[in-house]
A = this chain, B = another copy of it.
Amino acid sequence: MSKNKPTLPQGTRDFDPSTVRKRRYIFDTLREVFELYGYQPLETPAMENLDTLMGKYGEEGDKLIFKILNNGLGDPKNIEKSKTAFERVLEGKNDTDLTERALRYDLTIPFARFVAMNHNTLTFPFRRYQMQPVWRADRPQKGRYREFYQCDADVVGSYSLINEVELASIYYTAFKKLGINVEIRINNRKILAALAEVCGGADKLTGITVAIDKLDKIGLAGVTQELAQRGLSDIQVTTIEKYLGLAGSNEEKLDALKALIATSATGATGIAELETILNYPGSPVMTVDLTLARGLNYYTGAIFEIKALDYQIGSIGGGGRYDDLTGTFGVPGIPGVGISFGVDRIYDVMEGLNLFPADVHTGARILFFNLGEAEAKAAFGLLQQLRAKGIAAELYHETAKFDKQFKYAEKKGIPYIVILGSEELATSTVKRKDLTTGRQETLTFEQLLTSLL
């Protein structure tokens, strides 16, 4: 056994009690909103078969998937097994001899796998939310971890734009409950497709999307340079510059846009979709952001991104509509739309703006001092009665000096202490002290049990 000081794997974190409680506050708030909208919880295993995951995230993504070593390999007592497996891998024959399973990389592909496996029994539209960790072998850096939670809500089996309105409304409601001022930005991939059409052909769409997606990082000059490098003519680049420069209210932007991409039927559809979503009665306020592109290829309609208004940080949510969730698993024709919450960044915003409610730390409310065996036994009886009433409380574990017990209460942030010494025991009373105000009262046992804190 190693006697070395242990460490954590790079890019992973322990969550101490205070952090778990704050994170749980975020998860509980999101869950409550998802449930209000009829979304249902789903959980999938951490491990998936390797062929479920590989090839779904592009070449770069594939490299970041954590693979699980097949059992028994590397065992010095069974070196033959390793040898055979290694030889086959090196001959390029079969790398499933080395690994057949991997840790999930996101929640979308496991969801697609679940829907593909169960589409005959699910009721569509199927609305699910999922809040689970994912793993990526990224280089760890500030704010980027190898294990982190994703939190997704998707509805599949429906083309209705009411879903987009509801998901925007989920964003609005959730961030309102969390106390974070946000801008809900919306665009539509059909508009970007129309822009590509106008600029020389649909085959330019990915290039244009990728370039526009970098606008925040490399600026307009960088984008135009990249577009030129990707083979767009000056006229085409000018059109895109004009597109990126469209300003004003949502209506003004859309009106100007209609002129710019007038020749594209796809564009007209995209604009109409946007207008339906924006104008649906009860729809939350959104900002049309024509520079919004989103990185992922599979979006086909509305795309969303959430920007925190009072805190400098990247987007804290995003999503969009896709045409085909499960085609890659042999079940075509299931469209959907989904959104994601960036829980780690939301945590940073709330911590930075001091938005966590004070009572998020729901630890014990009362510490009974331990002042001797008979006293502790009496205290324990009272303690159990308080717990039965739902009040979290503790008895100090052993008889110790006042000072030591005080410090324990302070360090654990327990707001009240109860003193039951020999004198109090004789009179069936306790002294209760409020550590916040310093106020101390003498109470009968009955008063202690019935007075509210």
Neighbouring B residues of A393 by C-beta, 8 Å? 36, 38
| B89 touching A63, Cβ below 8 Å | no
Q: Of B48, B83, B395, B397, which is within 8 A of A9 by CB?
A: B48
| A95-103, A240-248, A296-304 - interface stretch | A95-103
Name the residue of chain B whose CB is nearest to the CB of A31. Answer: B24
Name the residue of chain B whose CB is nearest to the CB of A12. Answer: B45
Neighbouring B residues of A113 by C-beta, 8 Å? 6
Tell whether A230 is near chain B: CB-to-CB under 8 Å. Answer: no
Q: How distant is the Cα of A390 from the Cα of B177 in the complex, in angstroms?
A: 12
| A155-163, A188-196, A217-225, A340-348 - interface stretch | A155-163
* Most chain B CB inside 10 Å of its own CB: which residue of A8, A76, A364: A8
Contact A377:B38 (CB < 8 A) given known A63-B72, A99-B69, A135-B47: no
| B95 touching A90, Cβ below 8 Å | no
Contact code string A231-243 (vs B, CB < 8 Å = 1, else 0):
0000000000000
| B147 touching A47, Cβ below 8 Å | yes
| A9 touching B380, Cβ below 8 Å | no
Q: Of B13, B73, B114, B398, which is within 8 A of A158 by CB?
A: B398
Which residues 3-30 of A sit at the B interface, judged by CB distance below 8 A? 3-9, 12-17, 20-21, 24
Number of copies: 2
Contact A17:B2 (CB < 8 A) given known A68-B67, A68-B68, A394-B37: no
| A14 touching B43, Cβ below 8 Å | yes
| A51-59, A198-206, A262-270, A285-293 - interface stretch | A51-59
Which residues 339-381 of A sit at the B interface, judged by CB distance below 8 A? 362-364, 376-377, 380-381
Contact A45:B98 (CB < 8 A) given known A17-B40, A362-B35: no
| B381 touching A281, Cβ below 8 Å | yes
Tell whether A282 is near chain B: CB-to-CB under 8 Å. Answer: yes
Q: How distant is the Cα of A282 from the Cα of B378 in the complex, in angstroms?
A: 10
Tell whether A330 is near chain B: CB-to-CB under 8 Å. Answer: yes
Shortest CB-to-CB span from A135 to chain B, Å, is 7
Shortest CB-to-CB span from A300 to chain B, Å, is 18
Contact A392:B17 (CB < 8 A) given known A45-B9, A69-B68: no
Contact A116:B380 (CB < 8 A) given known A43-B15, A45-B147, A387-B37: no
Q: How distant is the Cα of A100 from the Cα of B159 in the complex, in angstroms?
A: 46
Which residues 381-434 of A sit at the B interface, judged by CB distance below 8 A? 381, 383-384, 387, 390-395, 397-398, 408, 411-412
Neighbouring B residues of A98 by C-beta, 8 Å? 69, 73-74
A-B interface, 9 closest residue pairs, ranked by CB to CB distance from nearest: A17-B40, A12-B45, A38-B394, A38-B364, A86-B86, A20-B41, A160-B397, A123-B411, A15-B43
Q: 29 pairs across A/B with beta carbons < 8 Å?
A: A1-B55, A1-B56, A8-B117, A9-B47, A9-B100, A14-B43, A15-B42, A15-B43, A15-B44, A16-B118, A20-B40, A20-B43, A36-B390, A36-B392, A37-B387, A37-B394, A38-B364, A38-B392, A40-B363, A66-B68, A66-B71, A67-B68, A69-B99, A74-B95, A74-B99, A86-B86, A123-B411, A162-B395, A282-B380
**16 further A-B pairs in the complex, CB-CB below 8 A; given A67-B73, A123-B408:** A8-B45, A9-B45, A9-B47, A20-B41, A20-B42, A37-B392, A46-B147, A47-B147, A74-B98, A76-B95, A82-B86, A123-B412, A158-B398, A163-B397, A281-B377, A282-B380
